[in-house]
Copies of this chain bind each other. A is one copy, B any other.
Amino acid sequence: MNVHILSPRFEEYLSQKKALIERSLERLLPPVDEEPRIIHESMRYSVFAGGKRLRPVLAVTAFEIVGGQGDQILPLASGLELIHTYSLIHDDLPCMDNDDFRRGRPTNHKVYGEAIAVLAGDALFSLAFECFLGKGMTEPIPWAILGQISHHIASAVGSRGLVGGQVMDIEKYSKDKQLPTLEQTSHLKTGHLIQTALECGAVLAAADQGALAALRDYGQAIGIAFQITDDILNVTGDARKLGKGVNTDAARDIVTFPSLLGVEGARMQARKWISRAKESLSRFGDSAWFLHELADYVIQRQS
C-alpha cells in the first residue's frame, strides 16, 4: 500500500472543523450543573471524550461541497455526533460488548454505573432529535427540510439501520458470516450513519440528485472501509494508541474481515472500497480534495 502522509491542509481543515463542532456541542448540551447533575455530567463525559468527530465533519464537508454556507449546519452535524455517542455508550454496556475502556478512558458505565449509562444514551438520542429539529439553529430553516432530514436519520438508526447492524453483530449471525453478510453488517453498523451524515449535510444545502447519489456512494464505501480497518486494528493495533483493548474480537470468537480474509486480504478489501469511494467523487473535481484525503486517512489511521 502506498502510504500517503496526510497533508498539512488536511490536518488544518480537520482541526478547524473539529473546533467548530466542539463549540457547537458545548452550546447544545445542558450545563453540567443543571439538575439532575449526574445525567448531564454523564452525557458530557462521553461526548467530550476526544472522538474523531468523523460524522459531523462529513456533514459539514458535504454541506459546503454542494454550495452550503454559514453555521446552520452545526446543530445537525452535532446531533449526528450525539447519536454516534449514544450508540457507543449502549454498545459498551456489560450486556453488549462489555468494554471497560473507550478512547483511553473508562467507559460511561464504569464511571456512572449501568443505569445512568443507559439513560445518558437515551437522553443523547432525544437531544439529537431536538438538534435535527431546530435546537440551536441561528437562522430559520424550512420545516420541510428539517423534517425530511430527521425522518431519514430516524430510519437510519433503527432496526433497519444502526440497531439492526448491532443485533446482527451480537446474534448468531456472527457465526455463519460470509463476506456479503459481513459487508452488510458493517454497512448497517457503521456505514449507514456515515452515509446519512453526508446525505443530510448535502440535503440541507439543497443538493441535486446526482450530487446526493455520489456522496451516498462515497459514504457507503468509506463506511465499510472504516469497519474493515477497525477489525484490522483489533488484531494489529496498539492498545495505547487505540485507547481500547485489542484482540477482543478473537477472544469473543467473532467473525471479522481479518478472520475471514486474513489481515492482508482484509487490507486489500479496504483498499478496494477506498478506490470506489474516490471514483464516486469525480463530479466534484478539486473541491472534494478533503474527502479524497479522508478516504486515505480512513484506512491508514492507527486509532
| Residues in chain A within 8 A of chain B (CB atoms) | 30, 36, 38-40, 43, 90, 93, 95-96, 113-116, 118-119, 121-123, 125-127, 129-130, 133-135, 142-144, 146-148, 150-151, 154-155, 157-161, 163-164, 166-168, 170-171, 173
Partner of A130, one of B118, B133, B143, B158: B158
Contact of A119 among B143, B148, B163 (CB under 8 A): B163
Contact across chains for B133 and A163 when beta carbons are under 8 A apart:
no
Kindly list 12 other residue pairs between chains A and B, CB separation below 8 angstroms, not including A122-B125, A122-B158: A39-B167, A96-B115, A96-B118, A122-B163, A123-B164, A126-B154, A130-B155, A133-B150, A133-B151, A142-B143, A147-B147, A150-B150
Q: Is the CB of A164 within 8 A of B36?
A: yes
Determine if A95 and B123 form an interchain contact, defined as CB atoms under 8 angstroms apart: no
Pairwise interchain contact A36-B150, C-beta atoms closer than 8 A? no
> A167 CA to B122 CA in the complex, in Å?
11
Q: Is there an interface contact between A155 and B126, defined as CB atoms closer than 8 Å? A: yes
Contact status A123-B39, CB under 8 Å: no
Which residue from B116, B148, B151, B166 sits with its C-beta under 8 Å from A167? B116
Chain B residue with the shortest CB-CB distance to A95: B114
Query: A134 touches which one: B90, B151, B167, B171 (CB < 8 A)?
Result: B151
Would you call B38 and A159 a contact (CB within 8 A)?
A: no
| Min distance, Cβ A82 to any Cβ of chain B, angstroms | 11
Closest partner residue, chain B, to A118 (CB atom): B90
Instruction: Say yes or no: A123 contacts B93, CB within 8 Å.
Output: no
Nearest to A133 among chain B residues (CB) is B151
Q: Is the CB of B116 within 8 A of A159?
A: no
Closest to A151 in B: B133
Q: Is there contact, CB below 8 Å, between A159 and B115?
A: no
Tell me the minimal C-beta distance from A24 to chain B in angstroms. 17
A134 partner residues in chain B, CB cutoff 8 A: 147, 151
Return 22 A-B CB contacts under 8 Å, by A number.
A30-B159, A36-B159, A36-B164, A38-B171, A40-B159, A93-B115, A95-B115, A96-B118, A119-B163, A121-B122, A122-B125, A122-B157, A125-B125, A126-B157, A129-B129, A129-B154, A130-B154, A133-B150, A133-B151, A135-B155, A146-B147, A147-B150
Instruction: Tell me whether B36 and A173 are in contact (CB under 8 A).
Output: yes
A156, closest chain B residue (CB): B126
5 smallest CB-CB distances across A and B, nearest first, come from A95-B114, A126-B158, A133-B151, A129-B154, A143-B143
Q: Which residue of B lies closest to A134 (CB)?
A: B151
Closest Cβ of chain B: how far from A230's Cβ, in Å? 20
Q: Are A129 and B150 in touch, CB under 8 angstroms? A: yes
- Given A39-B167, A147-B146, A30 contacting B160 (CB threshold 8 A): yes
Residue of B nearest to A159 (CB): B123
Selected from B113, B114, B170, the residue in CB contact (under 8 A) with A115 is: B170
